[in-house]
Amino acid sequence: MSLDVFFEARSIAVIGASREPGKIGHEILRSLIDGGFRGNIYPVNPKYSEVLGLKCFNSVLSIPDDVELAVLAIPARIIPRVVEECGLKGVKGVVVISGGFSESGGVGVKLQSELVSIARKYGIRVIGPNCIGIFNPYTRIDTFFQSYERMLRPSKGNVAFLTQSGTYGCTVLEWLALDGIGLSKFVSYGNMCDVDEAELLSYLGDDDKTRVIAFYMESVKSGRRFIDVAARVSRFKPIIVLKAGRTEAGSRAVMSHTGNLAGRYEVVKAAFRKAGIIQVQDIEELFDTIKIFSLCPPPRGDGLAMITNGAGPCVMASDAASELGVKLSQYSNSIRERLRKSLPPYALIGNPVDLTGSATLRDYLTASEILLEDPNVNVLALFFVFQDTPLEDEVVYEVPKLRRYGKPIVALASGGPYTIKQARRLQEGGIPVFPTPERLIRAVKNFIKYYLCFK
Amino acid sequence: MSLDVFFEARSIAVIGASREPGKIGHEILRSLIDGGFRGNIYPVNPKYSEVLGLKCFNSVLSIPDDVELAVLAIPARIIPRVVEECGLKGVKGVVVISGGFSESGGVGVKLQSELVSIARKYGIRVIGPNCIGIFNPYTRIDTFFQSYERMLRPSKGNVAFLTQSGTYGCTVLEWLALDGIGLSKFVSYGNMCDVDEAELLSYLGDDDKTRVIAFYMESVKSGRRFIDVAARVSRFKPIIVLKAGRTEAGSRAVMSHTGNLAGRYEVVKAAFRKAGIIQVQDIEELFDTIKIFSLCPPPRGDGLAMITNGAGPCVMASDAASELGVKLSQYSNSIRERLRKSLPPYALIGNPVDLTGSATLRDYLTASEILLEDPNVNVLALFFVFQDTPLEDEVVYEVPKLRRYGKPIVALASGGPYTIKQARRLQEGGIPVFPTPERLIRAVKNFIKYYLCFK
């Protein structure tokens, strides 16, 4: 059975809806309402006749219309009974936000297996338990107990993010929103008592809206199946995975988080590599790698050229490139000659081309256009000190026009409000911006490696 | 001769002051005026009689009053002559912003040695050339050509930052300002034709306002002398160094940036370690390490305890702690018992103490107070998902009160505007906040290592 119900449902019951602000069952309902979900919303709670202006039902069974999806924010012990009611009602999918299942051990483990067997009996699909659920910016299905006041949602786009940790869900979704990178679908899948990574990956592999798939993963429940699906999907969509629980201490933490086994990291790592999965080491690298794949066209070769108005970060980038095996382009003599003739005398011609603190928009465009014509330049990295006053504001509107060359262009900038605003504009123009040279180089490395080695 | 003139001068000439917004000589003058420098400011430029409302002089020699410090933003070729005039005028220090010296090779190298010999003749001290100069938030000496509209300045505080790269200067100063971490003194020293790292370090070692000293360094001009000073200063103040030019590619980039040699990294690294210098790998680690030293009291032992309302980052923190050798505290049985009795049943008692997404302010305070009383807990790390609506806003005002226990407390949070605001409030309360578990753990590692191993 398809997972469509989780992303496309037109009627949703929120079981455990509360009138009390701050309560999980209140905030989930509010997210659906505030987020602009267009389908029918049914609060369920025997204590109330109305919540947030919507008629409240004492059970899912008393809702007069069809209910496709139910979101559960009620104590674990009553969940099996409520899922039974969902089954009788003909609900197709449930998202169990509540914790208190396998991650708690003892009775929780038993409750989780009861939940699963009841769901199986009725053919109900389950996301969770112990998660924050679903977000689809296209249909506005939004099961978050994180309010709009406290958490930004990204706009529509081509990135799917799947996570075993709700916390990293919040972080990545807000980072995407801050940087203006769009999302196709989000799933926090928690203990994954039913729907697992392999099934989600397969579904998103076939999803037209999704171009990049990223995971934060602690355990790998579907094992071999996941690897097989990944080997297929990675041939046409990049799959980026952050695997936690690399060490013994981390594995113990995984166990107490979702009650699943982390698996032996060396084994997992080797299998992932063989399946063409891009493996990253921390949440920043995950995010940076998502960004470059979401915004840039594939590179045709592995040479990186840098242009800057401040040399320091290019020194660090040269170190990082050398350490990570990213190749810096060697320009042909004719390109060097053109650069020298076309740029002001203060410019230092090399890789980087250092335009110095006196650099203007014109200098950046001149240098970029020459380098983008060099076949040895496959990825262009523009390092910006936006704080330097000689550089015109308009640079962030002009640089994106260089995308007409069809080559990947990335940028570096970091600082305060002005720089953040300028970086945001660049990204809206399709140029991913990274805050440090190491992060830029790591993203470029993952990007080049995927297109030139895996594929 | 003391370096006081660069930080305490009461009269400053800006040579090359321009009326044209965006020009370097215009923006430096504006930074002194907009920044609120209280001493006398003298624009010098033969083209104008007045700039930005101040009387403009055709040469430093025609200024009727004493001039202690001169900031030079004029072409390299006329700098030797102007420094000669500064000497005749009795100027004590010059900051040379302009490039075109040793980093350009050829005639630039010659110009730099002329500049040095003239300065020596008159006993003038020189910062630069090829730099962005000085910022002292106490006296408002500010030689930046980065305007206030484009670049934040940090407030007064205890961190000194010294950098060979102006760009990283901009980045770190704005990050400090965004996080509310205060600065004692800032120097961008560029090619360091005269004043070098050893002298700056020695000066700041004796500076009452400075408690933490951080460097971004490409070459080490003063070599042995720097190591000797560092070995002395590191006994009472942490010295944090980011050394660029670790690889051959990086070293070449160093050469073309400031015309100095990077030095063999392995040799530098060993000497730094012996001198008790805290070595970091990138600008984020530099900044994170500055923060923890700036805000936290010394630890009495090496055990780290974690409390969270979202487990994912603690899994990654456990991995990072294990990989970097940071010890996670083992609680005594009585502490575990107290935690179990005092916390709600949904809390998972371990390291981390996982309060789950239902966590409230009360849960955080209860768990923190119990752990801070455990002698096995030497550093407390509070992981926050501020987006989770059950957690009250007030948590950021209550947590800083836990500093009464005298133990270092650090925090983790990352996300959008609400989380950024909450993190800022925590930091204003003296709790450093890190965006990822890896960055938190690395900062904690540097912090513990300095106090327990170096000292």
* Chain A residue with the nearest C-alpha to that of B249: A318
Contact between A352 and B253 using a beta-carbon 8 Å cutoff: yes
B393-430 confidence digits (pLDDT tens): 999 999 999 999 999 999 999 999 999 999 999 999 99
C-alpha distances in angstroms, A41 versus A30, A68, A152, A311?
Answer: 10, 11, 22, 56
**Other beta carbons less than 10 A from residue B155's beta carbon:** 12
- Note the pLDDT tens digit of each residue in B78-120: 999 999 999 999 999 999 999 999 988 889 999 999 999 999 9
**CA–CA gap between residue B33 and residue B56 (Å, rounded):** 14
- Does residue B1 carry a pLDDT above 60? no
Q: Are A281 and B357 in contact (CB under 8 A)?
A: no
Residue tagged 């799917």 (tokens):
A160
**Is B163 close to A312, i.e. CB distance below 8 A?**
yes
CB–CB of B244 and A321 under 8 A?
Answer: no
**Can you name the residues that pair with A57 across neighbouring β-strands?**
A44
N residues, chain B: 455
- How big is the A-B interface in CB pairs under 8 Å? 261
Q: Which CATH homologous superfamily contains domain B1-141?
A: NAD(P)-binding Rossmann-like Domain (3.40.50.720)
Closest CB to B257: pick one of A249, A253, A311.
A311
Alpha helices (H) along B9-106: 24-34, 79-89
The reported pLDDT for the residue numbered A255 is: 78
**pLDDT per position as a tens digit, A243-253:** 999 888 888 88
Question: Residue B454 is encoded by which pair of tokens?
Answer: 């170096």
Q: What is the reported pLDDT for A369?
A: 98
Helices (H), B206-262: 223-233, 248-258
Q: What is the pLDDT of residues A73-111, one digit of tens each?
A: 999 999 999 999 999 999 999 999 999 999 888 899 999
CA distance A428 to B322: 39
Looking at residue A166, its amino acid is G
Q: Exposed (0-12), middle (13-18) or buried (19+): which is B34, by Cβ within 10 Å?
A: middle
Q: How far is CA B48 from CA B11, B44, B45, B54, in A?
A: 20, 8, 6, 10
CA atoms in the 13 A half-sphere facing the CB of B420 = 13
Distance CA B205, CA A341 (A): 47
User: Residue B144 pLDDT > 60, yes or no?
Assistant: yes
**Structure-model confidence comparison of residues B253 and A430, the more confident one:** A430
Residues 157..176 of A with a Cβ closer than 8 Å to B: which? 163-168, 170-171, 174-175
Which tens digits make up the pLDDT trace of B191-250?
999 999 999 999 999 999 999 999 999 989 888 999 999 999 999 999 999 999 988 888
Q: Which fold has domain A1-135?
A: Rossmann fold (3.40.50)
B327 touches chain A (CB under 8 A): no
Would you give the DSSP letter of residue A242?
Answer: E
Give the pLDDT of residue A70: 98
Check CB contact under 8 Å for A250 and B417.
no
Interface test with B, best of A315, A386, A420 (most B CBs within 10 A): A315
- For residue B26, what is the enclosing H or E element? helix B24-34
Q: What is the ipTM of this complex?
A: 0.94
Q: Does pLDDT of A454 surpass 70?
A: no
Helix (H, G, I), strand (E, B) or coil at B409: strand
- Helices A312-324 & B248-258, crossing angle to 10 degrees? 170
Tell me the pLDDT tens digit for each residue of A313-369: 999 999 999 999 999 999 999 999 999 999 999 899 999 999 999 999 999 999 999
Distance from CA of B392 to the nearest CA of A (A): 8
Nearest CA in chain A to B152: A416
pLDDT in the model for residue B264: 83
Chain A positions touching B311 (Cβ under 8 A) are 165, 167, 253, 256-258
| pLDDT value, residue B211 | 98
Please report the pLDDT score of residue A105 as a whole number: 87
Continuous segment of H or E residues that includes residue A263: none
State the pLDDT confidence band at B254, using cuts at 50, 70 and 90: confident
In this structure, the dihedral spanned by the alpha carbons of residues B180, B182, B187 and B190, taken in order and rounded to 10 degrees, is -30
Average pLDDT, chain A: 95
Torsion sign, CA atoms A294, A297, A298, A303: negative
In sequence order, which residues have a C-beta less than 8 Å from that of residue A362 and are 6 or more positions away? none
Domain range list for chain B: 1-141, 152-295, 297-454
- Superfamily per CATH, domain A152-295: Succinyl-CoA synthetase domains (3.40.50.261)
- Provide the pLDDT confidence category of residue B455 given band limits of 50, 70 and 90: low
pLDDT at residue A265 in the model = 85
Fold identical between A1-135 and A297-454?
A: yes
Is B297-454 assigned to CATH 3.40.50.261?
A: yes
Cβ contact, residue pair A315, B24, below 8 Å: no
CB contact (8 A) between residue B328 and residue A249: yes
What pLDDT is attached to residue B356? 93
Tell me which residue in A254, A282, A328 faces B438 most closely, judged by beta carbons: A282
Which pLDDT band, with edges at 50, 70 and 90, does B439 fall under? Answer: very high
Mean pLDDT confidence for A51-61: 98
* Inter-chain touch B99–A356, beta carbons under 8 Å: yes
B107 vs B159: CA distance, rounded Å: 37
